[in-house]
Chain A
Amino acid sequence: MIPSLPRPPWLRAATAAYLVAFLIFLFLPLVVIAVFAFNNAPYPAPPWRGFTLDWLFGNAALGRVGLFADTELLGSIWTSCIVAFWVTLLAALVGTSNAFLIERGRFRGKQALSVLMMAPLVIPGVILGISILAFASQVADFADNVFGLELDFLRPGLPLIVLGQFSYIATIATLTISARLQRFDRTLEEAALNLGASKAAVFRTILLPYLRPALLGSAAISFLMSFADFNTTLMLVGADTPLTVMMYARMHEGATPVLNAVSLFLMIASAALALTLLRRGGRRGKSPA
């Protein structure tokens, strides 16, 4: 019931208890990860054996390979960053272009096209992955057989991972940017045009600054989603392994607390990104999706 109505004491108590239990449920896995990143033991498990920074700074000489000495893990973070960079860039460009197409364009089939743009969000990531894998491989085979061309970027590997992730992250970028463009006051643009500004000048000096928050927001979301993507990436992975797939493989084998260390690093990085974004967005931007 709402605050303006009388609530019996047991209901108040139950609500408070539920809230506490829910928050514990929500944060327990994250707290556990953070704690066991500093446990002085070869496996991330109780009991507590004292505090250590080995899982961050340890190296082979110490017998424990910490995060900053684990070249394989660091390499996969770098791989994920490269993939996320390209996905973010592509999604921002295509998302902006789509926003103008949907909000400004007038053409037949616009309704159908905008529904089709939403489709990638309801296709399971695994299926996006296998369909792109199969299609790209067949195109590559065709090019090889008919023209003798070796199109390596269509084989499993980083370019294909970028395309796979971009295929659905572009939808999210489109939604974010077009939501903002929709609220744009067109009289500003008309005034500028009346005063003799060229279309390019209007775009640069009025539309782009106006869209900036949406562009930054969608860039942050694209980057995070790309970094966190597992389903699509798993199907398209080649020689270079992004972080999520690397972590998955190690978790299967029963990993050392170095995975806790890398997770802690990810938590801090994404919390920092989230906070910056919330500060910029002020009271408005409280939802990441």
Chain B
Amino acid sequence: MAETPLDTRWHGRLALGLLLAPALLWLGALIVLPHIDLAILSLRERVGPRHYVASLAQYKTFFEEPLYWHVFVRTALMSLIATFATLLLAFPIAWIIAKLARGRAGSLLFIVCLIPFWVSETVRTLGWMILLRESGVLPALLVKLGITAVPVELLYRDSTIMVGLVYTSLLFMVVPLVSSLESLDNSLIEAAYDLGAGGFSVLRTIVIPHAAPGITAGCIVVFMLTLGNYLTPTLLGGKNSQWFTEQIYTQFITRFNWEQGAAFGFLLLGLSTAMVVIGLKVSGQRFGEVMRRT
């Protein structure tokens, strides 16, 4: 039986509706509405039992209490440094994988670099704790080599947090870098070299402009993940970690002060989103493309 055009259109609408339903349910109930709710929470103040008024008090507390905004700025700065350090560390490896290794060696090396990231961050952090704590492997090694007289505590320092953050972020930098470097035509580098360019000017004028999309994608993702990290700073930094996500947890779960926790959450979300937007603007890329890359 042939379908009339009206039937087809009706079928099309029904199919579209059926496909839209899960997407709207997912985004509406788990992303959009909870965030609107969080925004409302952050903009109210408790003035008595079960009595709330709209106010900016939560945000005011943030700016008036030095501890809060110090931790916020500290988290942002350390995330920036960690992002930059990850880029520096990952770039040579991405170059080796994409350009220097021949044939299957390249893809094999790539897989080898990805292996540690198949296990959870908890496991990897446990490894660092065993390595770095006072009774751990590296302090014992330092004593054995005669570098320090007694075992030193290598945990609970800012530099330790940094090592952990960089380690955990490497994958998200290496993957986009490799894919953007692989697409760079070797003959461009050869041409530049034949025309007398040195290693540094090739890097600056050819490689970095070409790899810019990959660099941006990697930096955005790494910064965002570092900023929102909880596990690595709290375990490797201990009481000195002073990470902003920890403040959110304290307000929300320990103190049950949801209004304050919601305001902190929004500040973190704002910073994270601002960085994503700036990163995209600077490199002139679209959001969807960057996400597809990683």
Binding site for B on A (CB under 8 A): 1-5, 15, 18-19, 22-23, 25-30, 32-33, 36, 43-47, 93-94, 97-98, 100-101, 105, 107, 113-128, 130-136, 138, 163-164, 166-167, 170, 175, 179, 224, 227-228, 230-231, 234-235, 243-244, 247-248, 251-252, 259-260, 263, 266-267, 270-271, 273-274, 278, 283, 286-289
Contacts and interface: CB of A to CB of B under 8 A. Distances in A.
A116 B37 CA distance: 17
Given A2-B99, A136-B34, 12 more contacts: A22-B92, A45-B135, A100-B19, A101-B19, A105-B16, A119-B31, A122-B224, A125-B228, A126-B265, A132-B34, A134-B262, A244-B120
Contacts of B272: 122-124
Given A45-B135, A107-B16, A231-B245, A270 B118 contact: yes
A29 B124 contact: yes
A26 B116 contact: yes
Contacts of B120: 227-228, 230, 244, 266
Interface stretch (B57-65, B66-74, B105-113): B105-113
Contacts of B41: 134
B126 A247 contact: yes
A124 B127 contact: no
Given A124-B245, A224-B118, A251-B235, A163 B100 contact: no
Contacts of B183: none
B269 A235 contact: no
Nearest to B89: A22
Contacts of B137: 32, 45-46
The 10 closest A-B pairs by CB, nearest first: A29-B127, A124-B228, A228-B120, A131-B34, A135-B34, A167-B30, A270-B118, A101-B19, A45-B135, A131-B38
A2 B189 contact: yes
- Chain A CB count within 10 A is highest, among B22, B34, B38, B113, for B34
B126 A131 contact: no
Given A122-B276, A131-B265, A179-B292, A15 B96 contact: yes
A44 B130 contact: yes
Contacts of B126: 29, 33, 247, 251, 259-260, 263
Contact of A263 (B20, B93, B123, B265): B123
B85 interface: no
B265 A127 contact: yes
Contacts of A23: 112
A92 B35 CA distance: 24
A70 B57 CA distance: 47
A278 B114 CA distance: 12
Contacts of A136: 34
Given A122-B224, A251-B235, A130 B248 contact: yes
B56 interface: no
A103 to B, nearest CB: 10
Given A5-B189, A121-B291, A175-B292, A234 B38 contact: no
B80 interface: no
B121 A230 contact: yes
Interface string B164-183: 00010011100100010000
Contact of A278 (B111, B186, B292): B111
A219 to B, nearest CB: 15
B249 A97 contact: no
A32 B109 CA distance: 21
A254 to B, nearest CB: 9
Contacts of B131: 28-29, 32
B230 A230 contact: yes
A122 to B, nearest CB: 5
Given A29-B128, A33-B127, A138-B37, A132 B30 contact: yes
A19 B96 contact: yes
Given A32-B131, A247-B122, A273-B118, A97 B22 contact: yes
